[in-house]
């Protein structure tokens, strides 16, 4: 019964490491041990950590490609429609659909839409802005934006068991393992 209560309140277990190599190794071991619902928190992007955590390549490039294509097509379509259908203007007998002159604006709007998609796509996929997150309740979590590296196994992981997981994380060389309150 007591364990059940604690599971309800605890969001996860947060292990603190001093060096990025230790974190990468720990993430790898945790994954090999069968933990899936976990995340790492680091002050800078660490190469190799994504692989150790088992992340799949992000879909962001495809989304950005789509954003760019939509922007470019909309720009070209707008200019073509206005110059040939909505308000055709005969300038010295030149063709209405003088597409080479439409290229600069098409290019600019392609870049604009792709860039907006990249930024808002990244923020959206990451769920930002997010005013509250349980992991901020951990007392030393402020160091995740300075010089400490954290690995968090979340309570929703099927293998999560507060004592077993705590023992496992301490065994990975963590400096400290704390329970994160919901």
Partner 1 sequence: MSDAARRGRSGPPVIEPVHTYASVTDKISSIVLSRRTPLFWIVGFFLSFLLAMGLLVAVSYLFAKGLGIWGINQPVEWAFDIINFVWWIGIGHAGTLISAILLLLRQEWRTSINRFAEAMTLFAVACAGIFPIIHLGRPWLAYWLLPYPNTMALWPQWRSPLVWDVFAISTYATVSLLFWFVGMIPDLATLRDRARRKGFQIFYGMLAMGWRGSALHWHRYEMAYLLLAGLATPLVISVHTIVSFDFAVGITPGWHSTIFPPYFVAGAIYAGFAMVLLLSIPLRKVYGLEDFITMRHLQNMAKIMLATGLVVGYGYVMEAFFAWYSANPYETYMMTNRMRGPYAPVYWALMLCNIVAPQFLWFKRVRSTPLALWVIALIVSIGMWLERFVIIVVSLHRDFLPSSWGMYRPTGWDFTTFFGTIGLFLALLFLFIRFLPMISIFEMRTLVPDAKPLGKEAVPDDSVADHAEPA
Please, which of residues 34-53 interact with partner 1 by CB under 8 A?
Answer: 34-35, 39-50, 52-53
Shortest reach from residue 111's CB to partner 1, in Å: 5
108: Cβ contacts below 8 Å, ≥ 6 apart? 75
- On the 0-12 / 13-18 / 19+ scale of CB atoms within 10 A, 136 is exposed
Reading the block at residue 106, the tokens are 């098409």
Distance CA 79, CA 76 (A): 5
Residues comprising the chain, all counted: 182
Applying CB under 8 A, does 20 fall inside the site for partner 1? yes
Q: Round to whole Å and give the CA distance between 21 and 27.
A: 10
Residues 125-154 that bind partner 1 (CB under 8 A): 125-126, 128-133, 135-136, 141-147
- Residue 73 as a binder of partner 1 (CB under 8 A): the answer is no
Instruction: Name the minimum Å distance from CB 75 to partner 1.
Output: 8
- Identify which of residues 70 and 159 has a Cβ nearer to partner 1 in the complex: 159
Indicate which single residue of 6, 21, 181, 182 sits in contact with partner 1 (rule: CB under 8 A).
21
């Amino acid at each position: 019964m007591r364990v059940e209560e604690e599971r309800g309140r605890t969001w996860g277990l947060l292990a603190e490491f001093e060096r990025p190599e230790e974190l990468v190794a720990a993430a790898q071991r945790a994954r090999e041990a069968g933990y899936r619902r976990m995340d790492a928190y680091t002050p800078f992007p660490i190469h190799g950590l994504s692989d150790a955590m088992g992340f799949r390549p992000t879909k962001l490039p495809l989304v950005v490609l789509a954003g760019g294509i939509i922007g470019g097509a909309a720009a070209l379509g707008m200019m073509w429609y206005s110059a040939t259908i909505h308000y055709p203007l005969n300038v010295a007998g030149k063709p209405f659909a003088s597409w080479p002159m439409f290229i600069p604006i098409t290019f600019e709007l392609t870049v604009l839409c792709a860039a907006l998609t990249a930024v808002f796509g990244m923020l959206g996929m990451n769920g930002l802005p997010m005013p509250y997150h349980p992991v901020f309740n951990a007392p030393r979590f402020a160091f995740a934006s300075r010089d400490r590296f954290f690995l968090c196994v979340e309570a929703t992981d099927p293998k999560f068991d507060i004592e077993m997981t705590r023992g496992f994380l301490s065994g990975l060389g963590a400096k400290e393992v704390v329970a994160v309150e919901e």
